[in-house]
């Protein structure tokens, strides 16, 4: 991903909204890179965000091709206040970045870019509306229907959309891509599969399978990959996704006590990689490594990461996943009370996450996972910086706020910990450790400051939320 706002479609990632940073005594510096925007327009947004009393005291425009890099400075001074209470400047900057990014996006992007921007930033309902307008204007837009289906699958998880809506969008995309006219899906699929002039286009089916997986429908996802394999038997993405989905199903079965079924599905998952007749790519080997890691075979999974990087030395996800392998390998050693070996793996993981960051400095998860490894090694101050970087890149990261709260808790900065935990609850209300950390921080804060009615109320609400999250995650006895 490029610097600043990046509107390229990379579904698993989220673009950096805006980079903001303290600029010393002169106030705040805001940097943004985007095509087709004037300095005057940018300055008006800055003034709108900071208030009329604040002036933009300097601005620079640097043109490079079709892109314009704009740097503006205001005389806004910290510390900022909100509702009469001093706030952490980093929190305020994140909120300003988010506000500005969406204001800019709605004015300066075309519809498909805007839909992707909303989707990548977790604004699925807004993306849904934009895709609806796109397909109304062009009912044969395969790309829009395919991406719309992915967005709706997210809304199904949030219980806003229905699975049938997802299927409808992918059926339309397939029928348009395969020129099936009014044929039903099964008839269309069989006709396309048998056509001598086919282009072996299984991309929509693969995306459909991914959407089914997002909705938790592993069996349906596996069926889509099976159908895709009949159309494109030499497509490595089909078999990589198929094998990965079988591994997800295996993990679910083993977690529920069905060890025999889980082992069978893991064997089937590996067979998709071992029996593939086409030409593997870097992504294929990386997925293979992930399946092996899910089975706890970390010594084998790291070999697949190496193979992936042999094909593409700049494939940052292979380094990222290699770092994950080493981290969980360390956890495995810790569970066996082999703490020295565990520490060695945690230390090794640091270099892999750093290499991932070097290759793609805009991928928030690399910073987040680097922070997790640092926390595990007891390097809390270092971890704090990595979590903050992850949040700047992805203000809706589902875990970074919670883990940043945990770091502040360990550092004894309970007010900051409470603030971060509350932000984490807003973004991901189902994450149990957030509530646990909030309770501990509130209890520690009440001991230091003395219990007040407000603190007691907050603590009661935190305990209630903790029980609610446990119940929603299926841990009913603990709730």
Are 328 and 293 a contacting pair, CB within 8 Å?
Answer: yes
Are residue 66 and residue 149 in the same domain, yes or no?
Answer: no
CATH number for the domain that contains residue 452: 1.25.40.10
Are 416 and 437 a contacting pair, CB within 8 Å?
Answer: no
**Tokens representing residue 333 in the block:** 């050693």
In a domain, 213, yes or no: yes
Query: CA-to-CA distance for 273 and 268, rounded, in angstroms?
Result: 9
SS3 of residue 160 by DSSP: coil
pLDDT band at 340 (very low <50, low <70, confident <90, very high): very high
Count of residues making up the chain: 479
Q: What is the pLDDT of residue 9?
A: 25
Cα R_g (the chain), whole angstroms: 24
DSSP single-letter state for residue 299: H
Are residue 393 and residue 415 in the same domain, yes or no?
Answer: no
Residue that terminates a domain, selected from 197, 232, 267: 232
pTM of the model: 0.75
In a domain, 11, yes or no: no
Q: What is the pLDDT of residue 120?
A: 76
Are residue 407 and residue 390 in the same domain, yes or no?
Answer: no
Partners of 19 in the β-ladder: 31
Q: What is the pLDDT of residue 87?
A: 45
- Beta carbons within 8 Å of 143's beta carbon, 6+ residues apart: 112
- Region of 216 on the Ramachandran plot (φ > 0 left; ψ -120 to 50 alpha; else beta): left
Residue that terminates a domain, selected from 54, 79, 108: 108
In a domain, 238, yes or no: no
In a domain, 228, yes or no: yes
Are 279 and 246 a contacting pair, CB within 8 Å?
Answer: no
Are residue 59 and residue 137 in the same domain, yes or no?
Answer: no
Are residue 67 and residue 175 in the same domain, yes or no?
Answer: no
Query: CA-to-CA distance for 438 and 425, rounded, in angstroms?
Result: 10
Residue that terminates a domain, selected from 75, 108, 141: 108
Residue-range definition of the domain harbouring residue 135: 110-232
At which residue do the structure tokens 């990222």 appear?
320
In a domain, 265, yes or no: no
Are residue 406 and residue 444 in the same domain, yes or no?
Answer: yes
In a domain, 270, yes or no: no
Per-residue pLDDT averaged across 246-272, rounded?
A: 96
Give residue-wise pLDDT tens across range 63-112: 454 444 444 454 444 433 333 344 444 444 445 555 555 555 565 567 88
Q: What are phi and psi of 94, to 5 degrees?
A: -60, -40
**Tokens representing residue 113 in the block:** 């870019």
Are residue 90 and residue 39 in the same domain, yes or no?
Answer: yes
pLDDT at 413 exceeding the cut of 50: yes
Per-residue buried b or exposed e for 239-255, using 16+ beta carbons within 10 Å of the residue's own CB = bbbbbbbbbbbbbebbe
In a domain, 60, yes or no: yes
pLDDT band at 449 (very low <50, low <70, confident <90, very high): low
Query: CA-to-CA distance for 108 and 35, rounded, in angstroms?
Result: 8
Give residue-wise pLDDT tens across range 8-52: 222 223 333 344 443 333 444 445 444 444 445 555 555 555 554
Are 388 and 20 a contacting pair, CB within 8 Å?
Answer: no
Give me the number of domains the chain comprises: 4
In a domain, 1, yes or no: no
Which candidate, 171, 301, 201, 294, places its Cα nearest to that of 244?
A: 294
């Amino acid at each position: 991903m490029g610097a600043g706002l990046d509107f390229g479609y990379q579904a698993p990632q989220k673009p950096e909204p805006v980079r903001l940073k303290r600029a010393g005594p002169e106030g705040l510096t805001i940097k943004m890179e985007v095509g087709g925007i004037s300095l005057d327009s940018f300055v008006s947004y800055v003034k709108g965000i900071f208030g009329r009393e604040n002036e933009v005291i300097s601005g620079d425009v640097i043109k490079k091709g079709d892109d314009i890099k704009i740097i503006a400075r205001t005389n806004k001074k910290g510390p900022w206040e909100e509702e009469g209470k001093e706030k952490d400047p980093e929190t305020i900057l994140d909120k300003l970045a988010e506000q500005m990014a969406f204001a800019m996006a709605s004015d300066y992007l075309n519809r498909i870019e805007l839909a992707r921007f909303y989707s990548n930033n977790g604004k699925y309902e807004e993306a849904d509306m934009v895709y609806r307008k796109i397909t109304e204007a062009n009912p044969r837009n395969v790309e829009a229907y395919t991406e719309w289906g992915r967005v709706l699958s997210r809304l199904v998880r949030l219980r806003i959309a229905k699975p049938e809506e997802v299927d409808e969008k992918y059926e339309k995309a397939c029928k348009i891509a395969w020129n099936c006219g009014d044929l039903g899906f099964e008839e269309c699929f069989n006709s396309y599969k048998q056509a001598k002039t086919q282009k072996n286009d299984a991309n929509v089916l693969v995306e459909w399978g991914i959407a089914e997986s997002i909705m938790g429908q592993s069996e349906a996802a596996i069926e889509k990959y099976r159908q895709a394999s009949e159309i494109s038997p030499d497509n490595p993405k089909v078999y990589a996704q198929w094998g990965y989905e079988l591994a997800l199903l295996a993990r679910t079965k083993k977690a529920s006590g069905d060890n025999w079924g889980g082992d069978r599905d893991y064997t089937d998952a590996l067979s998709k990689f071992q029996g593939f007749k086409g030409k593997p790519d870097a992504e294929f080997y990386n997925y293979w490594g992930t399946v092996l890691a899910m089975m706890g075979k970390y010594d084998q999974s790291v070999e697949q990461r190496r193979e992936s990087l042999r094909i593409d030395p700049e494939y940052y996800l292979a380094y990222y996943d290699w770092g994950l392998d080493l981290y969980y390998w360390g956890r495995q050693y810790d569970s066996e009370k082999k703490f020295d070996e565990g520490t060695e793996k945690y230390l090794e993981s640091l270099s892999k996450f750093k290499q991932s960051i070097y290759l793609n400095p805009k991928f928030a998860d690399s910073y987040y996972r680097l922070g997790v490894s640092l926390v595990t090694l007891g390097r809390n101050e270092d971890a704090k910086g990595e979590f903050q970087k992850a949040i700047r890149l992805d203000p809706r990261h589902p875990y970074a706020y919670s883990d940043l709260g945990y770091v502040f808790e360990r550092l004894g900065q309970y007010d900051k910990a409470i603030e971060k935990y509350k932000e984490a609850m807003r973004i991901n209300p189902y994450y149990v450790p957030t509530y646990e950390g909030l309770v501990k921080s509130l209890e520690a804060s009440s001991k230091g400051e003395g219990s007040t009615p407000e603190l007691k109320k907050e603590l009661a609400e935190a305990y209630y939320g903790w029980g609610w999250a446990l119940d929603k995650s299926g841990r009913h006895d603990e709730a």
